[in-house]
């Protein structure tokens, strides 16, 4: 293997180790944002049931990104 391909393989390996952490951070941030969105809706006078339903429509779930990546391949 050439030094360039070894360097690329090492970087790819490092990325594979970091991606699960990035996905976890994204998921936690998404849940936190959705929860805050729901709390703000309730604070603005939206009934809790409707706020929960609207928070479920909060955009960009991790599954949406995974599905888009699968469709791209």
Helix pair 62-72, 3-43: axis angle to 10 deg: 140
pLDDT computed for residue 54 by the predictor: 83
Residue 17 belongs to what H/E stretch? Answer: helix 3-43
pLDDT computed for residue 55 by the predictor: 85
Q: Are 41 and 57 in contact (CB under 8 A)?
A: no
Reported as a pLDDT band with limits 50, 70 and 90, residue 69 is confident
> What's the average model confidence in pLDDT over 42-64?
83
**Distance between CA atoms of 21 and 29, rounded to whole angstroms?**
12
Reported as a pLDDT band with limits 50, 70 and 90, residue 62 is low
Domain ranges of the chain: 3-72
Reported as a pLDDT band with limits 50, 70 and 90, residue 25 is very high
Task: Name the residue with tokens 């994204």.
Answer: 26
Residue 65 has pLDDT above 70, yes or no: no
């Amino acid at each position: 293997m050439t030094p360039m391909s070894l360097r690329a393989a090492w970087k790819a390996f490092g990325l594979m180790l970091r991606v699960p952490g990035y996905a976890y951070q994204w998921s936690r941030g998404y849940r936190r944002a959705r929860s805050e969105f729901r709390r703000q809706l309730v604070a603005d006078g939206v009934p809790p049931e409707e706020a929960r339903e609207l928070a479920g429509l909060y955009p960009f779930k991790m599954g949406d990104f995974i599905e888009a990546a699968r469709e791209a391949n």
